[in-house]
Structure 1
Amino acid sequence: MFTGIIETLGIVSNIDRNGGNLDVTIQSSITSELKIDQSVSHNGICLTVVNIESDHYTVTAIQETIAKTNIGEWSVGDEVNLERGMRLGDRLDGHIVQGHVDQTAICISAEEGNGSWEFRFSYDQEANNITIEKGSITVNGVSLTVVDSEAGEFSVAIIPYTYDNTNFKHIAIGSTVNLEFDVVGKYIARLYGFRDIR
């Protein structure tokens, strides 16, 4: 379980194909605090640490993860948003994030204005996920509030701190991002059969 509050950025240092899986090695300032079998959110993807060497650690993504996220597009040198699992008793500064990416989206606009940035994303409606204005959304692991919600599109506002300390500074028109929709909203929508209402 995560909060969507990014701890630090990691750098992809190696990517290996292992059958249908991807072994991704990350260089990070928090590596010394990790342990084998620990779950870490990488751009919103919950992945398990399988190896640690010096300030590098490795995680493995299976085919299901590769198919549903943007991990297959990562390259050596890319910056990745990192968050370790939340501890019981901590403040929940973001919202409840599972680290289970629902689908990807494409950035269709990125505009700077008056000290903040507004990003708009488009996603496939066929997956039956929804956003609502002022609701929560996780983009590349970052807990955000939806500014504007339309059918298959939404926008978020990014403050300078978030822009500078996450990989939002690398997102441009055409970039693919990972989305996790609000888990409470998903359960309510499923329960009441509202998942096709936009």
Structure 2
Amino acid sequence: MFTGIVEEVGKVSSIKKSGSNLDIFINAKMTAELKIDQSISHNGICLTVVSINDDDYKVTAVQETLEKTNLGNLRASDPVNLERGMRLGDRLDGHIVQGHVDQTATCKEIKEKDGSWEFTFEYDPEIGNITIEKGSITVNGVSLTVVNSKKNEFSVAIIPYTYNHTTFKNLVVGDRVNLEFDVIGKYVKRISEFS
């Protein structure tokens, strides 16, 4: 479980194809504190640390993950939002995030708003996910509040701190992002389908 509060922006050191899997090597300050088998959120995707070498650690993404996320678009030197799993007893500063990406979206528009930014994302509504006004959404692992919720798009307001301490500063129109919709909303929607 995660909170969607990014701890660090790491950098992709290298990527290697391994059958249908992708081995991703990440350079991060937190590497010295990691251990093998630990779960880390990478742009909102929960991946397991499989090896550690100096300041780099390795995770492996299987075909299923590559098909449902934007991990296949990563290249060496790309920034990655990182968050370690939350500890029981800590404050929940974001919202409950599982690290299981529901689908991707495309950045449709970026507006500078005199000290903040508004990012608009478009997603395929046929998959069945929904947003609600002032509800929670995770974009590339960042816990955010939905504004301007529509059937196939939504916007989020980004404060300067979030912009400067995540990969939002690197996003451009047309980029593909990972979305995890609010877990409580997913359960409510699923239960109502059976009522």
Q: Which of the five TM-score ranges fits, normalised by the shorter chain?
A: over 0.9
The whole-number CA distance in structure 2 between the counterparts of 1:84 and 1:41 is 6
Quote the offset at 1:193 in angstroms. Answer: 1.4
2:63 matched residue in structure 1: 63
The whole-number CA distance in structure 2 between the counterparts of 1:49 and 1:25 is 10
1:85 matched residue in structure 2: 85
* Paired amino acid for 2:5: I
Please give the residue correspondences for 1:33-182 in structure 2 after superposition, counting only pairs within 5 Å.
Answer: 33-182=33-182
* Paired amino acid for 1:49: V
* Paired amino acid for 1:116: S
* Paired amino acid for 1:154: F
The whole-number CA distance in structure 2 between the counterparts of 1:113 and 1:122 is 20
* Structure 2, gaps ≥5 residues long: none
* Superposed structure 1 runs of 4+ greater than 3 Å apart: none
Residue 145 of structure 1: SS of its match in structure 2? Answer: strand
Quote the offset at 1:142 in angstroms. Answer: 0.1
Paired residues in the alignment total 194
Quote the offset at 1:116 in angstroms. Answer: 0.2
1:21 matched residue in structure 2: 21
Deviations 1:142-179 (A, max 9, x none): 00000110011000000000000000001111000000
Residue 149 of structure 1: SS of its match in structure 2? Answer: coil
Residue 150 of structure 1: SS of its match in structure 2? Answer: coil
Percent sequence identity over aligned pairs: 68
Quote the offset at 1:15 in angstroms. Answer: 0.2
The whole-number CA distance in structure 2 between the counterparts of 1:74 and 1:123 is 20
2:10 matched residue in structure 1: 10
Quote the offset at 1:126 in angstroms. Answer: 1.1
Quote the offset at 1:113 in angstroms. Answer: 1.3
* Paired amino acid for 1:11: K
* Paired amino acid for 2:47: L
